Amino acid sequence: MTISTHPILDVKQVSKSFRGLKAVNGVSLKMLPGQICSVIGPNGAGKTTLFNLISGILPHDEGHIDFNGASTSGLRTSQFASLGIGRTFQNLALFKHGTVVENLLIGRHIHLRSSVLESLFYLGRPAKEEIAAREKVEQIIEFLEIEELRDKTVSTLSYGQQKRVELGRALACEPKLLLLDEIVAGMNREEKEDIARFTLDIRDEFGMAVLMIEHDMQVVMDLSDYIYVLNFGTLIAEGTPAQVAANPAVLQAYLGDQGGGHV
């Protein structure tokens, strides 16, 4: 597929401190439409904080974040999904007592335009919007191969199944940029392979850019076009999977003085 040279995400020298400790320190990264990129690093490197800055959950203290050529500074958290930024969470953000379909429908809320009065009396536009929302949800259910789970309560599903529903909820927003926060954590090999396949299809079929935080290096190396490496909140390396795997600074960050192993 042809990738535009105009970045969909441009993070410039962004920093965030908590009680004087810089969790993210002058980090810059850039993504093009249709790219799959990863942010990796040891525990406590600042990866999730960086995701929270990009998705508007936290405001940044310094630097700039541009999405689709426009600054995200000053926007409310609720506006980021409308911009086209969707994400999954390391700790699942699902309504456990709702069904799979109900959880996916929640992801469609940003596309609803009906007024309270229209919705109250279920006039023309709300009916059309609900039909469209349910059609989109059914497409996602088919895409993620969870037809047999559609009417099950989320709390009854396995952890891997819940992760798939979490991915579906993010897809229901129809983002331009999808942030995946340790999406394969806790999954078995077969579940990881499914998620890897879905991630490639999300890029190829839906045209979404995907930015991942991931500890599974096999998934990172297999899927990523480009990788950014954080350690103690600072960007210590970036490049293609092959470049990052051979970078001594990356090996040192992961292995310290223990020696041996591989990225």
For residue 262, what pLDDT is reported? 46
User: Does pLDDT of 263 surpass 60?
Assistant: no
Name every residue whose Cβ is closer than 8 Å to that of residue 162 and which is 6 or more positions away in sequence.
92, 94, 154
Name every residue whose Cβ is closer than 8 Å to that of residue 163 and which is 6 or more positions away in sequence.
88, 92, 183, 184, 186, 187, 191, 195
Topology at the third CATH level for domain 1-84+174-263: Rossmann fold (3.40.50)
Q: Counting beta carbons within 10 angstroms of the beta carbon of residue 195, is it exposed (0 to 12), middle (13 to 18) or buried (19 or more)?
A: buried
For residue 69, the tally of other CB atoms under 10 A from its CB is: 9
What are the φ/ψ torsions at residue 247 (nearest 5 degrees)? -80, 120
Q: Using pLDDT thresholds of 50, 70 and 90, give the confidence band for residue 252.
A: confident
Which segments within 43-176 are labelled E, that is strand?
62-67, 70-71, 85-87
Kindly report, residue by residue over 26-74, the tens digit of the pLDDT. 999 999 999 999 999 998 899 999 999 999 999 999 999 999 999 999 8
| Domain residue spans of the chain | 1-84+174-263, 95-173
CA distance readout (Å), 71 to 7, 15, 65, 89, 125: 13, 16, 6, 23, 32
Distance in angstroms (rounded) separating the CA atoms of residues 228 and 27 = 10
Distance in angstroms (rounded) separating the CA atoms of residues 171 and 169 = 5
Segment among 86-90, 154-158, 172-176, 191-195 with least mean pLDDT: 86-90
Q: Please give the average per-residue pLDDT across 139-144, as a whole number.
A: 95
For residue 4, the tally of other CB atoms under 10 A from its CB is: 10
Distance in angstroms (rounded) separating the CA atoms of residues 178 and 244 = 23
Give the position of tokens 């996916």.
104
Distance in angstroms (rounded) separating the CA atoms of residues 241 and 260 = 19
What are the φ/ψ torsions at residue 49 (nearest 5 degrees)? -60, -40
For residue 259, the tally of other CB atoms under 10 A from its CB is: 7
For residue 181, what pLDDT is reported? 93
Q: CA 2, 39, 29: angle at the middle one, nearest 5?
A: 65
Q: Which two tokens stand for residue 174?
A: 């129809």
Kindly report, residue by residue over 198-229, the tens digit of the pLDDT. 999 999 999 999 999 999 999 999 999 999 99
What are the φ/ψ torsions at residue 253 (nearest 5 degrees)? -65, -40
For residue 255, what pLDDT is reported? 65
| Amino acid making up residue 72 | T
Q: Please give the average per-residue pLDDT across 108-125, as a whole number.
A: 51
Segment among 127-141, 145-159, 164-178, 227-241 with least mean pLDDT: 127-141
Mean pLDDT of the chain: 87
Q: Which of 9-18, 126-135, 157-166 shows the highest mean pLDDT? A: 9-18
For the full predicted model, state whether its pTM sits above 0.95: no
For residue 120, what pLDDT is reported? 42
User: Does pLDDT of 113 surpass 90?
Assistant: no
Distance in angstroms (rounded) separating the CA atoms of residues 172 and 137 = 7
